[in-house]
Structure formats: C-alpha cells, structure tokens
Amino acid sequence: MKQMRKLLTIFLCLIFLISGCWDYVEVEELTLVRTIAIDYLPERRAPYLVTLAISLPADIAGEKSGSGGGSPTQLFSAVGATLNLAIEQASLNLSRRLFFSHAELILIGEEAAKHGLLHILDFISNHPQVRFNVDLLITKGFARDVMTTTERLEVAITEEMIGMIDQARYSSESDPLQAFEFLQKLVTPGQDAYTALLLKGPPLEEEIAKLKDEQKPGGQEESTEGGAGGANGGGKSEGGSSGSTEDIQEILTMAGLAAFQNDKLVGFLNSHETRGLLWFLGKTNRTFLAIENPEKPSETISLHVARVQTKIKPHLENGQISFSVEVITEGDIRSQTGNTEIFTPEMINKINSAKAGAIKQEMEKAMRKMQELKVDLVGFGTILYRHDPETFRLLEEKWPEEFSKLKVNIVVTSEIRRTGMQSHPARLRR
Amino acid sequence: MLEKGKISPRQSCQLLIMALIATAILLVPSITIQQLEQDAWLAVLLGTLWGLVTLFAVYQLGLKYPNQTIYEYAQTLLGRWPGKIVGLVYVWSFLRVTAIVIREFGDFMTTSFMPNTPISVFSISLIFLAIWAVFAGLEILARMNEFIIILVISSLIFIMLLSLDNWDLANLQPMFTADLLAVVKTSFIPEVWAVDTITLSVIIPFLTRPKQALVAGAFAAFFANGLLAAGIIAALATFGPFLLQITRFPILTFVRVINIGKILSRFEVLVMVVWVAGVFIKTTLYLYCACLGLAQITDLKEIRPVVLPLGVIVIVWSFSMFNNIAELELSMSTPSARPILIYLGVPLLLLLVSWFKEKLQKRQPRRAQ
C-alpha cells in the first residue's frame, strides 16, 4: 500500500511536469488576425492570394501600444496552392505567432468567388481556431484592394467593415451572412447561397463634380463656375479627412448581393433587387420606400417600413407547382415632396395600395433576376421539400430549370398605422 | 464484501445520468443526424426503450439475489466456471468502454482545443484521476458526482437557452419522414441506446434501498436521453440537418456560433466543463465496475491490487484500439451484434435462467412431498 502511494505520488508529480503546456503561448507573442482577404489568381501554381489584416492584442484591448507601429493594422500577403500554405508563407514575414480566434471577417475577391468557395468554406469549418460565425463578404474586384482603403471613423479598416455589417442589419439593401449560414444555404437542397457585396469606389463628392462637368457644354459659363465653386465648398465642409479635391479617397459601400449557384459566383443583385429578395425572406425591417402620390403623380411620398411578415406556401395542381407568397407589412408615413393633404383615412388607404403595388413590383423584379440567373435564393425548393418531400425528391436534380419557370403568386398587404409628428402638411397661403 | 460504502438510489441515478450524457453529447448528434437527418432525435428517444429493457432485467436479477453483483449471481445461476466466463466478458466490455471514452475524450481535446498537445497527456491524466477515484470507492465517487452534475446539467441547459436566438424551427421539417427501419437500426447504436443502465447490475447491491433502483434507472435514462434529444433539436434548429452532417462535434459547433449582442459569446469553455467532468465520472464508473468484477471473479479480498494494472491496460488499449478518428467514428456509428448480445442478451438470458430455476425449485419440493 505504501509503495502504491509512492508510485502514485511520483506519477502525479510527473503529470504536473509534462502536462498541457504544448499549446501555451504568451499573449505578447501573439498577433490577432482580424480579417482574411482571399483572392484567386487563375493559371498559377499557387493561386490563392491571402491578405491578413493583423493587429496586436494590446490594440484590441484599447491600450495605447508603446511600440511605434504607426497604423494599428498591418497587412501581410502571400500566395499558396491552398489557404493553409499561403498563410504559412505569410507567417514567414511575421515576428509573432498568428492567432485566428479573433478573425471576424472573411473577404472574398470576385475571381475567387467565381472559381468556387468550396475550399474556402472547407478551410473555415475545419480550422480549430477560425470561428464558424465569421462574416463572409464578397468584393467586386480584388479583396486585397478593399483592405488598403483608409479607415474613416474607426481605428482600423476591419472595425469599419464590421460596423458596416452591423449597420446593414438596420437597412435592407444588403444581407451579410455568417459563414455557417452561407454554408447551410449551400448544402441544403433546393436553395442557393448569397452574401453581401462590398464595393470600393469614389465617394459622392467626386460624382457631383463629374455631374457638373457633364453639364458644362449645355449650360452657361457663369452658372458652371458657380456650380464648381459650390462643389468645392461642399467638399471642404465634408471634413478634413478627404483633404484636397485631388486625392479624394475611395470609400467602401455595402450594397447588393452576390448570388451563388453551388459554390460559384454567377451574378450580382443590385440594391433594389436585393430588397425585393429580402421581402421574400421577411428580412426588410426598417427600410424606406418611395411611392408616387396617388393624387399628384409628380410628387413623391416616402414611407418607413417597420415590420414585415412573409408566408410562402407551395401549391401542387395537376403536377404544376406554384407558390403563393403573402407579405404583410406595417409602417408609417415619413415625408412628402408636396403638401397634399394625405393624412386622411381615404388617402392612407390609397397610399396603402400604392405601397403594396410598389412592393409587389420590387419582388417581381427580384424574382425575374433570380430566374434569369437560375439561383433560388429564397429557397422555394426547400419550402417545397419541407411541405412535400416526395415531390421535391423527384424534382431535385433539375430544380434550377424548374425554378427558372416557377409561377409565384404574390399578395402584399400593407398597413400604415401612423403618420408622424405632423397633423397636417404645411399650407402655403399665397 | 469488497465495497463497504453504500449509495442512495438518487446518487445512483445521478451517476447514470452523467455516464449517459458524458459521451452521448459528443458524437451521438453527428452519428444520428448522418443516418436520419432531421428525425435524429426520434432514434435517441426510441433508444431509451432498449436501455429500459436492460434496466428491467438487471433490476429483477438484483432483487432476486440481494447483495450480489452480476459477477456473483452469474456464478450461482450458470455454475462456477461458465459464470466466471460471463463475468470476464463483462469485465472486458467495461474496460473496452473505458478505453473508448478515454480515446474519444483525447481526440476531442486535441482536435478542437489543443492541437499541439499529444493525446497521451489527456489520457494519462484522466486515467490517473480515475484510478485514484476507484481507490476511494463508490461512495466517494457518488458524492463527488452530486456536486459535478449540477455544473454539467446547468451548463447544458444554459447553453441551449442561449442558443434560442439562433433557432429556426422550420429546419426540423419535414418531420417523421425517416424510414422506420432506419430509426430502429440507428437506435441500436450503443451510444444512442441508453446502454449505461447495465452498470446498475454492479451497483444495485450497494444501494441503500435496492427496490428504488428501477425508478432511479428509468428516470436517469429518460432524463439523459431527453436532454440529448433536446440538444440535437437545438443543434438542428440552429444549423439544419444538412450542415450538421458535415460537422464532427455538432454541440460544440453550435455553441461556437452563439453570439448574443456581441457580449455573450464563446461558451466553448462550458462544453469543455461538461466534457472533462462527465468523462471523468464515466471513466471512473466503468473502471470501477471492471475492477470490482475482476476482484470478485478471482475471489480477491480487496479491489486495490487490480486497479492499477487494469488502468494501465486501459490506457494502452485506448491508444492501440484505433489508428485515427475516422476508425473511431466508424466503429461508433455501426450498430453491431456484440453490444446487443452483451448488454441486452445476457441479462435477459440470466433472468430467464433464474426464472426456470425457480419453477424447477417449486416443482421439486412438491414431488418430494
């Protein structure tokens, strides 16, 4: 017995000596990968170009890092035949260990998306550190170019993009998905995947200047000068960040969706089509709609949508599949361009039906676009599968074709409950 | 008696719950979903029934032969040597379960949390804890479990409540489309089936009130498999069956995506708590059953001499049993005749034999008169 005790003690001491420090890394030796941008360079032996946006742990905690690092985020790029190899290459340029648990964003370039996301999703879901709920964004053009954009409000470009993703949930022009949501759409039969599109382009100030230039030949000289001056003035009042008009920085916009068939990018939905799609999904809470004034078509009324509920049901008649889509929305009136008396029950009824018409039109437009691309982003196939698995099993193979000629019957019910702080529009006495 | 401690029926129920949940929560969701997609939880609920059959047989035998474990009454029923052989089969299978649990635990830790740490670190530290606990005896284990179970069950329920935000119940549709035969087949996978009720065949003699063993065991089986089914439903509602099919540890993956207001997130640690605690209890319970069995078969007066050797055998076995995680998963997910025979067949056979013997005994005195 005593011998046993001794033996046990020795072994237990050994355990303390050898136990679990293999994976131990000091925080000071770590760098946090915040964003992974992935591009694909076709016809190369090492086609994956990976750009890592890296910050030091101290920056995340909000402490002022004493070391002179300049910008808190550093970019490291490398190419490889797979993502892991590319990351390995990138780490040759680093003085610290890479840590992926705090990666929040994966940006995928247009070319990589066209080539297929399978490898990228495989990398995400198989990696023990990369989290399954990282946000997935597609960029037009190279993802690396997006990373070099200068941040405007936040400390780093990653934070800026994360903020934009949060904001996107308060509007209805795009719908960023997390990696697991995207993968779920991808692997579920009768459904195609999508995620938000990130654009990089010149800000509106530059566009205004261009518009003025276009007007030049037609307009009078004096007015043009005045206009240019005005534009400059606007540029200055915009803030110090843009500096002089010559080096106007490009800015990021999140609008529209990238549509995938299987794992390959097949097309883009612009922001109107995106909202049309989101009506189907019941995700358009908080958005603004513009409709013509039913009394005076030249005037516009803007409406705010606060709630939306969508029910989709499949119907099977004589082997013909059709879907009925019922949308119920609620919201209020926000403003109008004229001063028509619109706050009466009759007018509100008219506006309601105009709003329902506008929504229906938007949805049909989105539907046409999806059928053109043969991507079932709504998941009509999945809905059919859930209601009637046998019928769907028969159609599963040729669902894209079936979808492209699918009949969808849309019924929109709109309710305007409130009209804002005004009781009557301002009347002009003279 | 080799064991001097006594445990209450409630403690035995808690031990069973832990033994059932500990491993089930890890691989069962993935295995059942691969076979049955969104109807996976049906197999888990059905599997409870088989566990109850085992429980019933073991309970009846336990009442007929009070103060005897399965190793002892097997000898009284079948004769000395056949009984010892049956006993050795049980020792072997308890050891095998211990080895598999240790291996699963090690693979889980190295895959998802510490990829650079050798698996032996986890296995060896776990088996040493288990050996220590077996030395201490059943009563100590049961008392410790009373505390641990609160941690484990509350973490599991907490995790599920937090995930409500991610649920989409449409993912569970279409319901009841799976083939009935497939459901039955899946429910016979030993991990799905509430197979741990077999340990009661060793524990019943040490209960303060053996008559309550049936209620305690049944409650444990229903509670544990109910919780497991709830876990599967939660994971299904979050991910849908098609995404879950490709994940190795669905419950872990499903906890990883919990993110409420960017503050309540990263609860993997809770899964690890459930795991480390649950696996420790399960390993100890099975090692204890095996050690007690070997001691009783070889007519030892003490359990201690066999604990350390068996522990070493288990650790080596856990390393050598599978070459890689794919082999482990394959062996877990294929229903085979062996566990059905050992855990369902043998107890029923013993019950049948005891029943016949009783009939014979009743007849013989009559003839004598």
DSSP A63: P
Q: Residue B31 — pLDDT band, cuts 50, 70, 90?
A: confident
Return d(Cα B94, Cα B304) in angstroms, integer.
Answer: 17
Residues of A in contact with B114 (CB under 8 A): 20, 22-23
pLDDT confidence of residue A64 = 47
pLDDT confidence of residue A229 = 37
pLDDT confidence of residue B185 = 85
- And the tokens for A72? 């808190």
ipTM of the complex: 0.83
Cα-trace Rg, chain A:
27
Pairing type for strands A194-201 and A135-139 reads parallel
Please give the average pLDDT of every successive group of 10 residues along chain A, which has 430 residues.
Answer: 78 63 73 92 90 76 47 84 92 88 91 92 89 91 88 84 87 88 91 91 73 59 38 37 53 90 91 91 86 88 90 87 92 87 88 92 92 91 89 87 90 88 82
pLDDT confidence of residue A222 = 40
- Of A228, A278, A285, residue with least CA distance to A256: A278
Return d(Cα B155, Cα A16) in angstroms, integer.
Answer: 28
Q: Does residue A183 belong to the interface with chain B, where contact is any CB pair within 8 Å? A: yes
Residue A128: which of B112, B173, B177 has the nearest Cβ? B112
Residue B239: which of A23, A180, A388 has the nearest Cβ? A180
Return d(Cα B243, Cα A371) in angstroms, integer.
Answer: 25
Return d(Cα B142, Cα B213) in angstroms, integer.
Answer: 15
Q: Which of residues 116-155 of A touch B (CB under 8 A)?
A: 125, 128, 131-133
A278 torsion bin: left (phi>0), alpha (psi -120 to 50), beta (else): alpha
Q: Residue B273 — pLDDT band, cuts 50, 70, 90?
A: confident
Question: Is A131 close to B257, i.e. CB distance below 8 A?
Answer: yes
Question: Is A133 close to B173, i.e. CB distance below 8 A?
Answer: no
With tokens 């808690």, the residue in question is B14
Shortest CA distance from A101: residue in chain B: B266
Q: Does residue A11 belong to the interface with chain B, where contact is any CB pair within 8 Å? A: yes
Shortest CA distance from A7: residue in chain B: B308
- And the tokens for A49? 């170009």
Arithmetic mean of pLDDT, B308-335: 88
Q: Where are the domains of chain B?
A: 9-345
Fold of B9-345: Amino acid/polyamine transporter I (1.20.1740)
Which runs of E-coded beta strand occur in chain B?
259-260, 264-265
Q: Find out whether A54 and A34 touch, Cβ atoms under 8 Å.
A: yes
Distances (CA, A) of A383 to A111, A321, B40, B168: 32, 12, 20, 13
Residues of B in contact with A4 (CB under 8 A): 304, 308
pLDDT confidence of residue A236 = 35
